[in-house]
Amino acid sequence: MSSYLLALRPLEFFFAQYRRVWRGTAVTSVVTPVVYLLALGVGLGVFVDRSADLADGISYLEFVAPGLMAATAMQLATFESSWPVLSAIKWDRQYHAMLATPLRVGDVLLGHQTFVAARLLMTSTVYLVVITAFGAVDSPLGILAIPVTVLVGLSFSTSIAAWAAHTENEVSFVAIFRFVILPMFLFSGTFFPISSLPAPLEAIAYLTPLWHGVTLCRSLTLGDVELWSGLLHLGYLLACVTVGLALARMTYRRRLVL
């Protein structure tokens, strides 16, 4: 039995759990982009388009929509790998049930992250459909924004899962949302180019996986992606996922193998 197949076995559990809430999340995944696009793309966009001059005459809607798609994936992924991971270790203890069976720590981790990836895939697909309906996608290359968005999510969820397996206390999740995720949401190029930031903050923004994701998604939906910079962004995201998985493997092991 290859280890890849073992890692798929926990998926069934996460989907069974998800079945209980899927209606709510399905509505949310449609409503969220609609509301954001109406408020920011259409509402705020009218003012922005009147006063500012975005490159190549693109509208603010076209600018902000792909950014929102990536930023939303970040939030979903962070949530899915924080409370659920700690719960599976500490409160509901499902990981312990899995580990009593042939599954190994690596299978449990990969299985959970595969589920997060599946959730990201569903949400991103809906998001792309909605922003396309709003007329914010100019190129067929835009469809590649879906896998990129999944990667953006995973670059967060793997590290967050690593933290969740390390911490004793869910209070830290609230702090992460407030002091890491929210600032990234606001200042990583989703709503305005990071060149508008003061130089030190701009330098920090370059390091965030979200900026790379937002920039790549935007160049795909606008259809002006350049091969080398595109590969650079992709490589950065893949590196984040790899490092996150390595960290998570370490903290999972430390927490679960006693």
Partner 1 sequence: MAGQNGQPLIQARGLVKRFGELTAVDAIDFDLQRGEAFGFLGPNGAGKTSTMRMIGCVSPVTEGTLRVFGLDPARDGVKIRGRLGVVPQQDTLDMELTVRENIVIYGRYFGLPRRELGARADELLEFVELTERANDKVEPLSGGMKRRLTIARSLVNDPEVMLLDEPTTGLDPQARHVVWDRLYRLKRQGVTLVLTTHYMDEAEQLCDRLVVMDKGKIVAEGSPRELIERYSTREVVELRFDDSRPDDFGYWTDGLVTRVEALPDRVLLYTDDGDAASHGLHERGLVPESVLVRRSTLEDVFLHLTGRSLIE
CB 66 within 8 A of CB 218: yes
Between 55 and 258, CB nearer to partner 1: 258
Nearer to partner 1, 199 or 258 (CB): 258
37, 61, 98, 214: residue in contact with partner 1 (rule CB under 8 A): 98
Residues ≥6 apart with Cβ < 8 Å to 155: 209, 213, 237, 240, 241, 244
Which amino acid type is present at position 230? Answer: G
| Closer residue to partner 1 (CB): 59 or 166 | 166
As given in the structure block, the two tokens for residue 128 are 């792309």
Largest CA distance in the chain: 62
Whether residue 142 contacts residue 132, with contact meaning beta carbons closer than 8 Å, is answered with: yes
- Cβ partners under 8 Å of residue 188, min gap 6: 71, 194, 205, 208, 210, 211, 214
Q: How far is the CB of 148 from partner 1 (least distance, A)?
A: 31
Indicate the angle between helix axes 227-256 and 209-222, nearest 10 degrees. 140
Rounded distance between C-alpha atoms, residue 138 and residue 13, angstroms: 39
Complex with partner 1: residue 3 or 229, whichever CB lies closer: 3
Q: Report in angstroms how near the CB of residue 80 gets to partner 1 at its nearest.
A: 16
- Closest CB to partner 1 among 94 and 124? 94
Q: Residue 207 CB, nearest distance to partner 1 (Å)?
A: 37
Binding to partner 1 in span 100-119, by CB under 8 A = 100-104
Q: Is 254 in the site for partner 1 (CB under 8 A)?
A: no
Q: Which of 26, 83, 96, 186 binds partner 1 (CB under 8 A)?
A: 96
Choices 99-107, 116-124, 205-213, 241-249 (CB under 8 A): range interacting with partner 1: 99-107
Q: Which residues of this protein are in contact with partner 1, per CB under 8 A?
A: 1, 5-6, 9-10, 12-13, 16-17, 20, 92-94, 96-104, 257-258
